[in-house]
Amino acid sequence: MKRIIVFIYTFVFGFSVFSSTFVSAAQKNTQIIKVYLNGEQIEFNSQQPTVVDRRTLIPLRGIFEKMGYNVTWDSSTKSCTIFNSTQKITMRSGHKGMQVDDRAYMLDVPAQIINKSLMIPLRAVAECTGATVTWDSTTKSIYINSNVKEQVTYSVADYVKSYTEAVADIENAEPLFDTLNSLTDSNYSKNVDILKKECEKAKISLNEAYVKLTAITPPDDYNEFHQLSINAINTSLELCNLVNSMINGDLSYEEASKEIEVLENKAKIINKDLNNTTLKMNLSLYR
């Protein structure tokens, strides 16, 4: 199992070399952003999903009503209440704060009104409902999965087996990271088509691993390791989306450099935590 641990944080950390080699390319893609809820495309009557300050915003009412929530609007306070039989969510236009039952959250960008529709950042949907939310920058598509799957707590032996199966195909991401690490200013344009194909292949494998891992409830001693593995895969998916944004011209070189630096710092933390967690797990075998 140690070999798999090393492999995960190695490929997550593998993008540090190419951070200074990318150049901006292509024109901005202006195609309409599509939203899918549990595999079904959502049609919006008025305001469509949009991107503001590099953050995807979606119409609050259109999403939550499709998920079975009731939505009320208070025009005097410009606040919105979303609720069902088990949950209450409140947001206010122009504010980053969001209240979910008795817990407070801070969003990366505030909820805001665009063409008379209250728009919220994509991340808010996941934090509010626990749904799995995936952004595909290549097709400009958002995939929201709100189906709650039954989770099974595994014994250590079964967990190791299930974990190994879940991450078996992430080696398909290796060609992408190999290509990224070999890029230079002079050979970038020649490798764009290859980069697109490898990035799409990597995203498929990483998304599948993410879905499988999140369906597993590990033994107590493996909780920290398991969550770090999921964080590692999420970081790799963020990198894939960033690569697509670079190829599509959605980010300038300067903007991408800053985002890469953020991912690099995140990967360093994951790398350190995985090292410490692995050491603790290995030591426990001799107690």
CB 216 within 8 A of CB 226: yes
Q: Alpha carbon of 174 to those of 8, 14, 92, 124, 275: distances in Å?
A: 11, 9, 43, 31, 21
The pLDDT value given to residue 154: 55
Predicted pLDDT of residue 254: 67
Q: Pairing mode, if any, of strands 40-41 and 79-83?
A: unpaired
Residue (of 216, 218, 202, 213) closest to 169 by Cα position:
202
User: Which residue stretches of the chain have pLDDT < 70?
Assistant: 1-31, 147-155, 183-185, 188, 252-254, 256-257, 280-287
User: Closest by alpha carbon to 52, among 127, 130, 113?
Assistant: 113
Q: d(Cα 35, Cα 66) in Å, to the nearest integer?
A: 12
